[in-house]
Structure 1
Amino acid sequence: MQDTPLTASPLSNDDSLLLAVFLAAVVHVAILLGINFKAPQPPKINKSIEITLSHAPLKKAPKQAKYLAPDHQLGAGEDNQKPEPLKQSLPTPQTPPTPIAKVEPQKIPAPQQKKQTPQKILTQTNAPVKIATPIKPVDENIEEENTAERPKLTAEDLQQQIAQLGEKIRNTRPSTEQSKIKFVKSVSTHKYLAAQYVKDWEDKVERTGNLNYPTAASKSGASQTLTMDVGINADGSIYSMRIVRSSGNPALDEAAKHIVKMSAPFAELPVELLKEVNVLVVTRVWKFSDETGMTAR
């Protein structure tokens, strides 16, 4: 008999697949075992710890003190050698606040009563004791000086003081009527009525002044001027007259006022103008000249 040679049988598809899976598993296991997984370590932080040494003072002082210290303290340890003092100065302990001692009110000693000298008083039975107080003599010279310093106030002086006080009150507190006193330039709503009224007023004053030309103006020869305010009431009567700038001649100033009085009463203020003013003040420059006569413009 002849021996038949052994031949390798071809691998089937299933066997080759199992072999490939086995090899892949071996490779993965080797890779996993060769790789080490470690968590990242946090960086080291150097932390410094502050240590404060506090010394607790003793109530009793040691028998033999070797060093000077603000408080009583005892050393500790078994070393017989003296420790070297620290080069670094330790912070001084805070001294506790000293308690405030209660201040007791001092007792004020009662004033010693002076020994009164016994007074001899004559008394009778069932009669009340009366002590007469000394009467101080009145100095007549002082009373005469006081009466001489006080001036005697007569009835005329009293009336004069009352009149002055009333005038001050009127000047400081103007009434409602005085609050509606306006100059011609201050009239706003009815300015045309005020202008026409003042024109008629000027014509009347000039006519009266030229008919009664003052002698004080004719004596001087040269022309003279003055400025005067004239207040006119609602009925045309004169409310006030005031020399704003004098001519330098008091007689001429009085003559100008006299001309205004002779020209009064003037025409009544227009009804529509009374809605705005109660007294209309006219300011004009009065000129006295031998050539042109008297003008108030």
Structure 2
Amino acid sequence: MKVIPAREVVPLPRRGRHVRHAPWSGAAAQFDQRITELERRIAEVDRRFVALGVKTRIEAALLLSILIHVAVIAGVTFKMPAKNPLSDLNQPLEVVLVNAKSTAKPPQPDALAQANLDGGGNTDARRRAKSPFPVRQQEKQEETRTLAARAVERLEREARQLMTQAKSLVPVESAPPQVPPQSEAPAAPDASELVQRGLEIARLEAQISKDWDSYQKRPRRRFIGARTQEFRFARYVEDWRLKIERIGELNYPQAARDQKAYGSLVVTVSIKASGILEKVEINRPSGWKILDEAALHIVRLAAPFAPFPADISTDTDILSITRTWTFTRSDQLIAE
């Protein structure tokens, strides 16, 4: 076996921590001197710390930890949180139910609603749409009652005059009748005329009583226009509108698609308290017979509707809803 002689290992020169291989400038020499002094001080502190006992080192560490915690706590400040606006659960929230919607969200809404509605109307002032319900029937009824009251007053006045004249015809024994001058004597009605007037008064009173009873027995109607509605009717009218639009889109007239007929019409639908359809009438036609007939057909298909809730049925027997129906170019029905 051939033995290979070991090579001689030449040790490399050990490099010190701060061995300079090239002359440095004056600033570098000062920096190196400061580093050396800092290392010397760190070594001295480390030596003294190691020289301490275990107990002393633990105490020093605890003291340092306490000082650090005190500094942190002194630098931290506490602030009470702001009051949560939703903490008061009893605060009412006003929500406005609208019967229209828009795709654009209003930048500065004035109220909360179930759908986005960006403006509308004929004024720039910040107002909500307000208009009274149709009161034509009520005005007519008030006029009828006024005329009837006037007729009753007139008949009562005539009756009192007739009774006075009738009493004047009865002879009084205690005092002889005085004959007034011929020029001042009124023409006394005969008995047949008195009877005729009495019968006329009785007939008119009976007619007035009958008309008044009929007026009291008439169903109590409420009219909901296209631009305003009372708050308690809002939910019922909105549900009715959604049902009409849904039935209208499912039963859109094919003839209107074929003839490309589109337009709008005003329709009034009267609903009884039980939800049964009383009548439907077109207030303003669209100009297309197929659209007018389709509107009547859609209402009859959608009936019966939901019964009136308790807060409506207490004072309403028939609810008449007037809306503008629009058959659009995209074959949709919109009730506004």
TM-score, with normalisation over the residues of structure 2? 0.34
Structure showing the higher helix proportion among its residues: 2
